[in-house]
Amino acid sequence: MARVAFVMQLKPGNEAIYKQKHDKIWPEMLETLRDQGIRNYSIYRRELTLFAYLECDDPDVLAAGRDSLVVRRWWKMMEPYMEYNDDGTPWTETIEEVFHAD
């Protein structure tokens, strides 16, 4: 199992809508995450910085998820609220794990 952490960035003024969208996440989005082996997925917010943590069997599945139509639709909906790359994907920066204890 892999533990993956990364940060994303909200655009100013979009804190409430970001939370609202995730409070009503599409069932098909949750199903897609599960089908990709993603579990224990949490996103935290500190001001405009989003910290995401997830566990998966194969971290390469995250790159493969870019091809999912459901994921692409979700990203398109979220684009006005977050910093994005030119290719239509959310800007992310992977965080190095420096400590873990079970």
Q: What pLDDT was estimated at residue 66?
A: 81
d(CA 5, CA 67) in angstroms, rounded, equals: 21
Tokens of 64: 């493969």
pLDDT at 65 > cutoff 80: no
22 is catalytic: yes
Looking at every residue in the chain, the average pLDDT score rounds to: 95
> Rounded to an integer, what distance in angstroms lies between the CA atom of residue 82 and that of residue 62?
19
Is the predicted pLDDT of residue 64 greater than 80, yes or no?
Answer: no
The residue written with tokens 């979009």 in the block is 14
Rounded to whole angstroms, the Cα distance separating 53 from 17 reads 20
DSSP-derived 3-state class of residue 37: coil
In the chain, what are the domain boundaries? 2-94
Q: Which of 22, 66, 73, 76 is catalytic?
A: 22
| Record: fold of 2-94 | Alpha-Beta Plaits (3.30.70)
